[in-house]
Structure 1
Amino acid sequence: MGIAGDAFGPQLPAGTRELKQERAVRTRERILAAAAQAFAAKGYPAVTILDVAEAAGMTKGAVYFHYENKDALALAVTDLFYRRIGELADAVEELDLSPIGSVAELLLRTATAFRDETVLQAGARLQLERQLIGVRLPLPFQGYTELITSWLARDRETGARDELPPPDTLATVLVSAFFGAQHISWVLDDRADLVERTTALVRTIIPSAEEDIQLCPSAPRRC
């Protein structure tokens, strides 16, 4: 037996180690899915580890084995939120839309995800409750705003829309309006109308974007 085996006990076969790792990953995914559902439905202060354990179908001890406390769960769910936003942005960039079309499509896909996906709903609520959470969460909206600014800057380089405000100003207005709209839509209609609100928002802030919006796969079709 090698030195590692002598010091730390017999080493598991590679296949067994991989199986244990895969099982641990699936367990963490179950826990985070349950935590996201609880945070989205009840808010951070009202959620307990027991709530998460029961929703995940496991014991509190099993949850604590993977996450030391509720703050760690909140941080992990927030990380999932930003990872999902990144996936949406990557998917939009692959579409080869116009810069304004990319902006509209990203906002529309984000609206759809907020409406349909628990992780985004949980992430949004945790951001609102960030002062109540005992760990530092990533600052919201920065990367999202920077990406939209870069697309608007590319559009400005074409000189086609000189009437628009500077890219950083316009990006800030769009992101502020969108995340305000998602909050209002959540409160009034459980986000059921968020895609329509987002479409109206882009049309109102960028009136010249109508042709770009019509080419967006996620845009509601006008009758």
Structure 2
Amino acid sequence: MTTTGHRTLKQERAVRTRKQVLDTAAELFAERGYAGTSVVDIAERVGMTKGAVYFHFKNKEAMAVAVVEGNYQLWLDILKEVRAEGLDPRETILQLLDRTTEAFIGEPMVQAATRLQSERSLIGAPLPEPYVGWLKMLTDLFEEAGEAGQLKEGVSPRAAAHVVVASFYGVQHVSDVLHRRADLIDRWQELRAITLETVLPRA
């Protein structure tokens, strides 16, 4: 193997290992919270030494930030996936939020990032600002719906985005506190029918 090939394999292995560490950190942050998780806990679960974990992340704060950043990247990936299906604006919004709901149930990265944002006062590093990305994303989508004649007359795209973001995050929080999100799909379907299908009426 050439020196270049060996270097490439080493880099690819480092990327995989970093992802494994980050995924494990997300699992533990979701289960135990920031204060209840140590670097030793993460190292033990991933099957590495603490020093090996520190090779990829300088401290626990850096892992928390990376988990939250990974969560926001996931939302962009879901939107890109939905966009690729060529749906109209109304169906794009509905599919985006349907899949987001599923991610809250099945993705530790999402669960961890949500918990970390609520515990941000305990973390000695600034986390990415919550909600603003969602507000911008949904405002743009509601504007597209308005241009397509799919947004209820008189509804502001910005106001619709604020109501949906606040309602959605409130619903997932209540579901998490009361039922560890076991009923989130049902609660989302209720919210979907009462809010989104009202401001985005079928033609």
Determine the C-alpha separation between the residues in 2 that align with 1:116 and 1:161. 31
1:44–1:129 contact (8 Å) kept in structure 2 = yes
Cα 1:114–1:164, aligned 2, differ >3 Å: closer, same or farther? farther
What is the CA-CA distance between 1:59 and the residue it aligns to?
A: 0.7
1:88-147 alpha-carbon deviations (Å, 9 max, x no partner)? 111121222232222121111100001011111111111111121111111111121111
**1:97 counterpart SS class:** coil
Q: What residue number does 1:21 align with?
A: 11
The residue correspondences of 1:150-189 to structure 2 (distance < 5 A) are 150-189=140-179
Determine the C-alpha separation between the residues in 2 that align with 1:130 and 1:161. 36
* Bigger shift: residues 200-209 or 52-61: 200-209
Any unmatched runs of 5+ in structure 1? Answer: 1-11, 213-223
1:5-24 alpha-carbon deviations (Å, 9 max, x no partner)? xxxxxxx8101111111111
Q: Could you tell me which of 126, 131, 135 is aligned with 1:136? A: 126
* Bigger shift: residues 22-31 or 157-166: 157-166
Cα 1:156–1:210, aligned 2, differ >3 Å: closer, same or farther? closer
Q: Could you tell me which of 106, 128, 131 is aligned with 2:96? A: 106
**2:22 counterpart SS class:** helix
**2:117 counterpart SS class:** helix
The count of residues paired between Structure 1 and Structure 2 equals 201
Determine the C-alpha separation between the residues in 2 that align with 1:170 and 1:89. 18
Determine the C-alpha separation between the residues in 1 that align with 2:76 and 2:154. 26
2:67–2:109 contact (8 Å) kept in structure 1 = yes
Determine the C-alpha separation between the residues in 2 that align with 1:143 and 1:135. 20
1:43–1:125 contact (8 Å) kept in structure 2 = yes
Determine the C-alpha separation between the residues in 2 that align with 1:58 and 1:80. 22
1:32-81 alpha-carbon deviations (Å, 9 max, x no partner)? 11100110000001110000000110111111111111001101111111
* Bigger shift: residues 183-192 or 159-168: 159-168
1:71–1:134 contact (8 Å) kept in structure 2 = yes
2:89–2:142 contact (8 Å) kept in structure 1 = yes
Cα 1:207–1:164, aligned 2, differ >3 Å: closer, same or farther? farther
Determine the C-alpha separation between the residues in 2 that align with 1:64 and 1:206. 45
* Bigger shift: residues 93-102 or 71-80: 93-102
Determine the C-alpha separation between the residues in 1 that align with 2:169 and 2:154. 21
* Bigger shift: residues 108-117 or 196-205: 196-205
Any unmatched runs of 5+ in structure 2? Answer: none
1:174–1:202 contact (8 Å) kept in structure 2 = no
1:84 matches 2:74: yes
1:203–1:210 contact (8 Å) kept in structure 2 = no
Structure ID, larger Rg: 1
Q: What residue number does 1:93 align with?
A: 83
Q: TM-score, normalised by structure 1?
A: 0.84
How high is the sequence identity, in percent, across the aligned residues? 42
Q: Could you tell me which of 188, 195, 198 is aligned with 2:188? A: 198
2:78–2:96 contact (8 Å) kept in structure 1 = yes
Q: What residue number does 2:114 align with?
A: 124
* 2:43 partner amino acid: A
The residue correspondences of 1:35-50 to structure 2 (distance < 5 A) are 35-50=25-40
